[in-house]
């Protein structure tokens, strides 16, 4: 049986920034905000309902911040989170997002240019592996290594949409 909680739907609160995708990364909720499609923003630590104003004293205290990415790699199209780390997908790049704490909060390292998630949420995480669609075909990223899994007949019959 699932150990997940049962949701009743009561107690809705609002105010979070509009977003294209979201993910749980450790004690944070990370979103790709609609206000800047080339960035991610994360909540206060330990509280998915608390989104303090960026760069405010409250944000620094609660480790809430954001990260901008180079626009040449396209918009942010997916966030695949785990307990401490995440992959942030742009249309043509992949970033490793690692929790550091302190004033830095998260560090970001781009380890792939060219292959990315070419449309919003065209990926699925299975344990430590994340399968995704790029403009070239199907791939899997694991341990910051990208592998082409559709080489041959699959990619030949693949049409990006």
Contact residues toward other proteins (CB under 8 A) are 1-2, 4-24, 27-29, 31, 34, 43, 46-50, 81, 120-126, 131, 133, 138, 149-150, 153-154, 156-158, 161
User: Phi/psi at 7 (nearest 5 deg)?
Assistant: -95, 130
Q: Which is nearer to other proteins, 112 or 133 (CB)?
A: 133
What is the Cα 106 distance to its own chain's centre? 12
CB of 75 to other proteins, least distance (A): 10
Q: Which is nearer to other proteins, 5 or 143 (CB)?
A: 5
CB 73 within 8 A of CB 92: yes
CB of 83 to other proteins, least distance (A): 13
Q: What region, left, alpha or beta, does residue 92 occupy, with left being phi > 0 and alpha being psi -120 to 50 degrees?
A: alpha
Q: Which is nearer to other proteins, 46 or 114 (CB)?
A: 46
CB of 126 to other proteins, least distance (A): 7
Q: Which is nearer to other proteins, 34 or 147 (CB)?
A: 34
Burial of 48 (0-12, 13-18, 19+ CB in 10 A): middle
Tokens of 149: 């899994």
CB of 69 to other proteins, least distance (A): 18
Tokens of 120: 């919003």
């Amino acid at each position: 049986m699932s150990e997940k909680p049962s949701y009743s739907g009561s107690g809705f609160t609002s105010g979070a920034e509009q977003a294209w995708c979201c993910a749980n990364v450790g004690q944070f909720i990370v979103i790709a905000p609609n206000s800047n499609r080339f960035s991610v923003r994360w909540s206060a630590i330990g509280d998915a309902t608390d989104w303090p104003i960026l760069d405010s004293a409250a944000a620094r205290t609660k480790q809430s911040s954001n990260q901008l990415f180079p626009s040449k790699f396209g918009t942010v199209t997916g966030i695949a989170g785990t307990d401490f780390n995440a992959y942030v997908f742009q249309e043509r790049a992949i970033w490793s997002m690692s929790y550091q704490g302190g004033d830095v909060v998260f560090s970001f390292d781009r380890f792939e240019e060219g292959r990315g998630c070419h449309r919003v949420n065209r990926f699925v995480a299975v344990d430590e592996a994340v399968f995704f669609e790029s403009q070239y075909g199907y791939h899997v990223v694991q341990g910051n290594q990208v592998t082409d899994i559709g080489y041959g007949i699959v990619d030949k019959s693949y049409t990006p949409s």
